[in-house]
Amino acid sequence: MSWELHDVAIMGGGMMGRSIAATVAQEGLNVCVKEVSMEEAETSKAELVRALDHEIARFGITTADKKVILSRIRWVTQYDCAAECDLAIEAIQEDFDLKSQILTELDRRMPRENPIVINTSTLSITELAAKTVHPERILGMHFIYPVSTTRVVEVVRGQVTSDEALEKALNFARLLGKVPIKVFEMPGFVTTRVVLPMVNEAMHIVMEGVAEAAEVDLALKLGYDFRTGPLEWSDRVGLDRVLNWMQHIFHENGEPRFRPCPLLKRLVRAGLVGAKVGQGFFAYDVNRRRLDRLEDDKPGLA
Amino acid sequence: MKILVLNSGSSSVKFQVIETDLERIDKATDLTLAVGQVEKIGMSDSRLKISIPGRKPYQAYSEILEHRAAINWVMNTLTDAEVGILSNVHEIEAVGHRMVHGGEAFASSVQITPEVVHEIEQCSVLAPLHNPPNLSGYYAAHHTLPDVPHVAVFDTAFHQTMPPHSFLYGIPFQLYKKHSLRKYGFHGTSHRYVSFRASQILGQELCDLRLITIHLGNGASVAAIDHGKSIDTSMGFTPLEGLLMGTRTGDMDPAIVPWLMAMEELTLHQVNTMMNKHSGLYGVSGISSDMREIEEARAAGNQRADVAFRMFSYRVRKYIGAYAAAMGGADAVVFTGGIGENSTEVRRLALENMGWMGLEFSEERNLTHQGGEGFISTEESKVKALVVPTNEERTIARDVIRVLEGVMPTFEPPETVW
């Protein structure tokens, strides 16, 4: 096979795009990140530097690693960079029309054997692909934030995705040190489909006054060995995004277990969308560290 | 006989061409014909550097995506009419490969066969970052030079003579059996080379000497070489144990690991990186992992550089004492490696006031030592202290000869009852 992976284009330098870019660059590939404006690009770069510094403070990488990572990423504002890339990933917000528009731009510029990856947890790969000229090279990869430390990635086949494109995406995932889980398209795939009803249920419990939010989280953390409880997890993802996903899936399949909990809607309407604004189910400081943990939820040796 | 020596990392291949044979080994007249490396393998701007004694160093850039292309590039350069030193590839009569981990399977250097490759692959679980690229280098070189013998020289083999009471950890015995979890030690080729050279300089047989060899580079380790056999060394299951190093912790209470993971909520990856890349001279001083910069900062009055420096030297000293006791005394202490060969101050802190073990440190010799081999103990000192620059590539080339001539000593592990 003559196809080799050296250059990756990432559409969108938001939280997910940056995180993927850093992981790709750390594995020795060159990355170009496309943003809508130079201003956005600067912000994206500054946020990435912040995230890398945080990881240095957590001992995950060294200052030398940071230098290497940054040297392999360039930020651009035009789609043209994708023409020289072996693979492209779109990583913008969960918006069908915007994603569709990006796919068209990429499809027009990239050699037809190079895969185009949609990073989505709820949208239909098949439907997005159908609007392009080469739908067989389009597939989904669902990375889970934080990309650098989460080992799993769902690789999603649409109705007409080719075996070649799938194989390339699987190789790409393994190259990043991820474990790929192959799934056929269905709203929510595996991870999102399982986790959303669970967090929704946790929110219902709080709304009904059955238990305090902090206690719900602690029960699941200690009871089922979760690294983070479902409510703090939602806060960290962003309650607005969680609501968005639920609405998508509920709209797709009409299953009542995906009907967003009214409390979730209320918090989002109030702008209390989680860690990034300092308040969701819990309160957070500017470094997104959770405040007011229960005494039993403090780290320590069991 | 011209031997190609290869040290293959994941993104680099270091190489030397060395002319040697049994007679040259005996007289220490081995000739290094070329030294070089290929860097940034897998990238579009890979670089090849080569320096040949008496000529201007040569560099070239190209896109080299994997080891096979790198070795081809090396061979093409070596046989190039202008920059090379060989008329054709057949002048290379054998290849020596540095292998990091030989586990308990290899107690000496061996000619590589399919069975040997299989065994080395088995050892990869013990050195997942090093053995696989070492093997890639072998596959590539074997492809280019299929008709010559290839020999594997292991970092761990020399220390296989350690007795069980030295190599076992105080953990449940079944864990040793299940995972081969024990002390292996590293830098074996370096400890072997300098101990052999020291015996030649002292004019005595290696098997009549008790030596403490101290390799202080970016990684650092001490070995107790009792009558020619390594009986203990400071690096352990991994190169993390023992002395303080550039960025590695060296010895510490293992309880710190789970405690920190809990209190700082660190992942396994983070705690591993913390101990291997954020610690040591760099972590303590907050300045640098480079001893020269630590010494400069210390001279300028930086207290953390000073304490890092003292920790480093103190641990060297402590191991000298421990290994002298382990062997019931020592005949010589040998310094090597970048820091061991160059830092007069580390040597002084490690060796002064060692009269109790019969070692009279010579302040003057230490200060006036200018590279190369030489004594840093007084003329009268019962126990000698020396500096001997290491040469791992030469040891590898010599082992190729020894293996092919059938005179390779094996460092047999002692008989065990289990």
- d(Cα B362, Cα B352) in Å, to the nearest integer? 8
Find the CB nearest B263 among A59, A149, A300. Answer: A300
Which residue matches tokens 């061979």? B75
* Contact residues, chain B, for A149 at CB < 8 Å: 267, 269
Are the C-beta atoms of residues A46 and A125 closer than 8 Å to each other? Answer: no
Candidates A3, A31, A55, A59: best to mutate against B (most CBs of B within 10 A) is A59
pTM reported for the whole predicted model: 0.86
Report which of B364, B363, B357 is spatially closest to residue B333, judged by C-alpha positions: B357
Token pair belonging to B292: 């020269």
* Contact residues, chain A, for B271 at CB < 8 Å: 59
- d(Cα B249, Cα B282) in Å, to the nearest integer? 10
Find the CB nearest B278 among A59, A149, A301. Answer: A59
Encode chain B (418 residues) as per-residue pLDDT tens digits: 999 999 998 889 999 999 999 999 988 899 999 999 999 887 778 899 999 999 999 999 998 888 999 999 999 999 999 999 999 999 999 999 999 999 999 999 999 999 999 999 999 888 888 899 999 999 999 999 999 999 999 999 999 999 999 999 999 999 999 999 999 999 999 999 999 999 999 999 999 999 999 999 989 999 999 999 999 999 999 999 999 999 999 999 999 999 999 888 898 989 999 999 999 999 999 999 999 999 999 999 999 999 999 999 999 999 999 999 999 999 999 999 999 999 999 999 999 999 999 999 999 999 999 889 999 999 999 999 999 999 999 999 999 999 999 998 888 788 877 7
- d(Cα B68, Cα B181) in Å, to the nearest integer? 33
Please classify residue A211 by burial: count the beta carbons closer than 10 Å to its beta carbon, then call 0-12 exposed, 13-18 middle and 19+ buried.
middle
**What count of CB pairs under 8 Å joins A to B?**
35
Contact between A299 and B264 using a beta-carbon 8 Å cutoff: yes
If you measure CA to CA, which chain A residue comes closest to B260? A300
Are the C-beta atoms of residues B47 and B60 closer than 8 Å to each other? Answer: yes
Three-class DSSP category at A150 = coil
- What is the residue-averaged pLDDT of chain B? 94
To the question of domain B207-387 being in CATH 3.30.420.40, the answer is yes
pLDDT, tens digit (0-9, with 9 covering 90-100), for B264-304: 889 898 999 999 999 999 999 999 999 999 999 999 999 99
The pLDDT of residue A300 is: 63
Please give the C-alpha separations between residue B81 and each of A96, B3, B87, B154, in angstroms, as whole numbers.
Answer: 62, 19, 7, 34
- d(Cα B130, Cα B3) in Å, to the nearest integer? 23
B99 phi and psi, to 5 degrees? -120, 135
Contact between A60 and B44 using a beta-carbon 8 Å cutoff: no
If you measure CA to CA, which chain B residue comes closest to A65? B277
Judged against a pLDDT cut of 80, whether residue A21 lies above it is answered with yes
Find residues 106-165 of chain A whose CB sits inside 8 Å of chain B: 149
Question: H/E/C letters for each residue in B43-85?
Answer: EEEEEEEEECCCCCCEEEEEEECCHHHHHHHHHHHHCCCCCCC
- d(Cα A11, Cα B418) in Å, to the nearest integer? 60
Please give the C-alpha separations between residue A205 and each of A225, A264, A280, B402, in angstroms, as whole numbers.
Answer: 20, 12, 16, 75
Q: How far is B382 from chain A (nearest CA, A)?
A: 46
Find the CB nearest B262 among A58, A62, A299. Answer: A299
Q: Are the folds of B2-154 and B207-387 the same?
A: yes
Are the C-beta atoms of residues A201 and A255 closer than 8 Å to each other? Answer: no
Contact between B277 and A28 using a beta-carbon 8 Å cutoff: no
- Domain residue limits, chain B: 2-154, 207-387
The pLDDT of residue A196 is: 96
Contact between A59 and B262 using a beta-carbon 8 Å cutoff: no
- d(Cα A231, Cα A272) in Å, to the nearest integer? 13
Q: How far is B46 from chain A (nearest CA, A)?
A: 13
* Contact residues, chain B, for A232 at CB < 8 Å: none
pLDDT, tens digit (0-9, with 9 covering 90-100), for A175-206: 888 999 999 998 889 999 999 999 999 999 99
Which of the following is catalytic: B155, B226, B331, B399?
Answer: B155
* Contact residues, chain B, for A62 at CB < 8 Å: 247, 273, 277-278
Which residue matches tokens 């291949």? B13
Judged against a pLDDT cut of 60, whether residue A302 lies above it is answered with no
Please give the C-alpha separations between residue B294 and each of B208, B303, B340, in angstroms, as whole numbers.
Answer: 38, 10, 15
What ipTM does this complex have?
0.78
Mean pLDDT, rounded, for A109-131: 93
B210 phi-psi bin (left φ>0, alpha ψ -120 to 50, beta other): beta
A299 touches chain B (CB under 8 A): yes
- d(Cα B338, Cα B187) in Å, to the nearest integer? 13
If you measure CA to CA, which chain B residue comes closest to A27? B42
Q: How far is A216 from chain B (nearest CA, A)?
A: 21
* Contact residues, chain A, for B265 at CB < 8 Å: 299
Domains and CATH numbers, chain A: 7-184 (3.40.50.720), 192-296 (1.10.1040.10)
Q: Is B331 noted as a catalytic residue in this protein?
A: no
Judged against a pLDDT cut of 50, whether residue A1 lies above it is answered with no
DSSP H or E segment with residue A195: helix A191-207
- d(Cα B117, Cα B136) in Å, to the nearest integer? 11
- d(Cα B269, Cα B276) in Å, to the nearest integer? 11
Three-class DSSP category at A131 = coil
Strand order in the sheet with B2-8: B58-64, B43-51, B31-39, B13-19, B2-8, B92-99, B150-154, B110-111
The pLDDT of residue B398 is: 96
DSSP tag of B383:
B
pLDDT, tens digit (0-9, with 9 covering 90-100), for A239-297: 999 999 999 999 988 999 999 999 999 999 999 999 999 999 999 999 888 998 888 88
DSSP tag of A82:
G
Token pair belonging to B384: 């000698």
Three-class DSSP category at B405 = helix
The amino acid that residue B19 corresponds to is E
Handedness of CA B323, B325, B327, B329 (dihedral sign): positive
Candidates B260, B273, B287, B289: best to mutate against A (most CBs of A within 10 A) is B273
Q: How far is A266 from chain B (nearest CA, A)?
A: 32
Report which of B28, B9, B245, B250 is spatially closest to residue B133, judged by C-alpha positions: B9
CB neighbours of residue B111 within 10 Å: 14
Q: Give the length of chain A.
A: 302
Are the C-beta atoms of residues A171 and A227 closer than 8 Å to each other? Answer: no
Please give the CATH topology (third level) of the domain spanning B2-154.
Answer: Nucleotidyltransferase; domain 5 (3.30.420)
pLDDT, tens digit (0-9, with 9 covering 90-100), for A72-95: 999 999 999 999 999 999 999 889
DSSP H or E segment with residue B344: helix B344-351
Q: How far is A110 from chain B (nearest CA, A)?
A: 21
User: What residues of B are in the A interface, CB distance below 8 Å?
Assistant: 11, 42-44, 65, 247, 258-259, 262-267, 269-271, 273-274, 277-278
Contact between A6 and B267 using a beta-carbon 8 Å cutoff: no
DSSP H or E segment with residue A66: helix A63-72
- d(Cα A235, Cα A212) in Å, to the nearest integer? 15
pLDDT tier for residue A2 given thresholds of 50, 70 and 90: low
A6 touches chain B (CB under 8 A): yes
